Structure 1
């Protein structure tokens, strides 16, 4: 398919077929997901698919994490997400298994293929970047290094996470704070037109005690709102910034979320709040947030309070 596209074939002619990862992910049966029936998935139809299939198998049986999540994460970092999207339903079940030794690492990589860029985020427009399911993902995201349409991979991974959102939401209440952070990160990419996921994130925020997890929940709510705009949620995020009873990490996350969502001119008091909150100590504390890890790939990133959409 990739060769045909280079030669001028129309992408639409492949939509819904055996090389459309969106269609393939949608066709994986619940029985295959729950039973890890990997042979029922046509991994070989996608670049490096057999390698990802083997990585999922090794991950399930508890092999060293590098052989499992390291492969999937490496594929996404190298801009090859199609086969990684096929792994999402299986990784979700590993992450939900409270007895699995690699559930934290698995959950940390679960949504890598559901985001357009792995590293190198460089502006407010990109920090919480993913489009709604109705957008033309192919045009927005271009092609992967293999020539495969990146938007199809992202859409497939997002649909897989959406399908398993009920499996992932209980992880917001997990005793492990790392699980809670990465559950929020994964759920932020789920399609959420009815704000079901955002409701779960806000419910957890109301009882969460760990400031870094609370910061993660705010960013997850902001990312979900980026895909499905909701004025009242933007206002809620702004209120978190103004609430001086909250931990500085939470307020800074709210500032970042607001900056990525709002189109209006940045108020002077917000600029002052960011200046006060964005200390070296705070930056170090927030390195635990996967959004910041992604942004860390671009050493020039600053959270601009100038013209909306422009990087600092």
Structure 2
């Protein structure tokens, strides 16, 4: 084995972490009799030689030796090597990708193409592995063939034949998954694959196999799913709950224990991942069920009602693990698709009271991100918060604190029952960030906290950690418009270190602006900031001075200078303040018109909004705002807010068409598949409510306020 390995000039090549002269040792480590050494070698292959899917010249040089390892029945853990080869050869550059490749990426693209060609050319070695004695090899071989072999019809025939002979349940599921992959990769096979999968799903076979067939049908041929797919799937889940593990092994495949002396060796990254996976699947009768259901949900895609009904059934399951999975999948569904989720959210709320900590924690984290959509779970959240004061505030390893997820969710609902948790959070040395937004959501219900907020701000040490110390306090006092705290805010404005950055001065100035005339003590400092002509700070100070003194003429010069500034932040800040002044800032209209063609999209949006506020002429601003709407989804809430303030737009207008298109889209505007932020659901729901307000009643306006 490894004939010619030392003749390769490894030292002339590199990988992700430097010279590739360590690659021969990694390849030999993959064949070691020591499980710990094999684990380290595999970790090195993924961490350096095939780092994050990259293919280097040294990766290409490894391919023949990896095939040698796969073909040798005496090499342990060959299934892992099959997966490595599948990953190296499985990167597909479509025509769209090739058109977008720049000169700098051409070499990498060539490496991917050469890897795909080399692994595909040797993929015939995977055929006998379908019947290998090692179930781990049989588990990896089907997907390798589906992803890499260039004779898909032959692969499909062998997958079907092998399914009839295979007795290991997980391997049977892998065979079905590989068929779905074939149908996606080779569309002419979609119909025969769908027919086969449909037959498997309809048979009276093992429920896991039928569920796998339905999942792959949803993935590659969703039109072939049965009309009653939800009751069929729920029935299969019920069978899986009541069936005991059979001789094929429905339980998780055990992780091989480390060899002698392994305790002295730091765990590899892949070893840690496997340990976490083993912990996650421990005690589950059919740990692969979650993966099948995730595949099914991906295939069902925008069929929100069916997906919600399926998850609701899972949340009623007596199996706590099915409920854990359902909560996690509900998070993905609600965060990515619009729909009616009252019943689903109520069922998630019921999980807060269960004794299984992972289930309750998953439920509270989901509800935390829903804001107003969490209303059906309000009572459950309030009970959870009242019953567990110890979870109101959590301390991080670096000393920072966080408001517990259940308390945060309750505060984001604007529920006064979150007040005790917010009060407790104010007693901590570092007030959790979530207190500021929480107070803002509670509004007047949080007024009793104003005194404590003022005292904490007055006592805060203005050192290098000033952001952590005063940020949430300023946010909360701004929301409450607590003018009595003006002296404490003024201290922050005067004494905070320069290293804190402009954000802190901006936050302090905005707090003073919210206080209005009650912040009269800050006028000298605000006038001093006003003299920093052409900066964002000067524009913010202008807005605060106008709020305190009401003299628009005194601040207009600073705003006009801001509109003409070179700094985009200054232009945006000046436009925002001009919009708040409205007709009083009419002198700024020419400058705002010039900014409608600014190179910065956000400046164009802010200028368009401000110009309408100043002039009242929507025909100048709306085309610019609608163009930005299509260019960047992140501006849509700002644009919709402006359109809603303008009043119902004319039916049939460009604005009405844009708003109606948004309202009829199932997908959230800011949540691409698989990735969304903690506030994205809230932001999208706010956008929908604003769109309804901006439209005439007969085109969809329900009058519903943002949640």
Q: TM-score, normalised by structure 1?
A: 0.65
Structure 2 residue 285 is matched with structure 1 residue 305: no
Within 5 Å, which residues of 2 pair with 1:115-264?
Answer: 115-116=90-91, 135-136=94-95, 138-139=97-98, 152=110, 154-229=112-187, 230=189, 231-245=191-205, 247-262=206-221, 264=223
- Check whether the contact 1:222–1:257 (CA below 8 A) recurs between aligned residues: yes
Highest CA radius of gyration, 1 or 2? 2
Change (3 A) 1:161 1:288: farther
- Check whether the contact 2:79–2:137 (CA below 8 A) recurs between aligned residues: yes
- RMSD of aligned C-alpha atoms? 4.0
Deviation at 1:224, TM superposition (A): 1.9
Deviation at 1:40, TM superposition (A): 4.0
Change (3 A) 1:36 1:58: farther
Distance 2:110 2:230 in 1: 38
Distance 1:251 1:77 in 2: 36
Distance 2:226 2:51 in 1: 36
Give the aligned partner of residue 113 of structure 1.
88
Structure 1 unaligned regions, length at least 5: 1-32, 117-129
Q: TM-score, normalised by structure 2?
A: 0.31
Change (3 A) 1:257 1:192: farther
Change (3 A) 1:154 1:233: farther
Moved more, 153-162 or 180-189: 153-162
Within 5 Å, which residues of 2 pair with 1:282-301?
Answer: 284=284, 287=287, 292=291
- Check whether the contact 1:184–1:220 (CA below 8 A) recurs between aligned residues: yes
Distance 1:161 1:58 in 2: 21
- Check whether the contact 1:137–1:155 (CA below 8 A) recurs between aligned residues: no
Structure 2 unaligned regions, length at least 5: 242-249, 251-280, 308-331, 334-707
Within 5 Å, which residues of 2 pair with 1:94-113?
Answer: 94-113=69-88
Deviation at 1:152, TM superposition (A): 4.8
- Check whether the contact 1:94–1:103 (CA below 8 A) recurs between aligned residues: yes
Deviation at 1:236, TM superposition (A): 0.8
Give the aligned partner of residue 66 of structure 2.
91
Distance 2:287 2:60 in 1: 26
Which of the pair has the greater relative contact order for Cα pairs under 8 Å at 6+ separation?
A: 1
- Deviation readout 1:208-262 (Å, 9 max, x if unpaired): 12222111101112112211121212211221111122x2221122112111111
Distance 2:232 2:219 in 1: 16
Aligned match for 1:80, one of 51, 54, 73:
54
Deviation at 1:172, TM superposition (A): 0.8
- Check whether the contact 2:218–2:300 (CA below 8 A) recurs between aligned residues: yes
Distance 2:218 2:131 in 1: 28
Give the aligned partner of residue 24 of structure 1.
none
Aligned positions, number: 254
- Check whether the contact 1:184–1:201 (CA below 8 A) recurs between aligned residues: yes
Change (3 A) 1:94 1:203: same
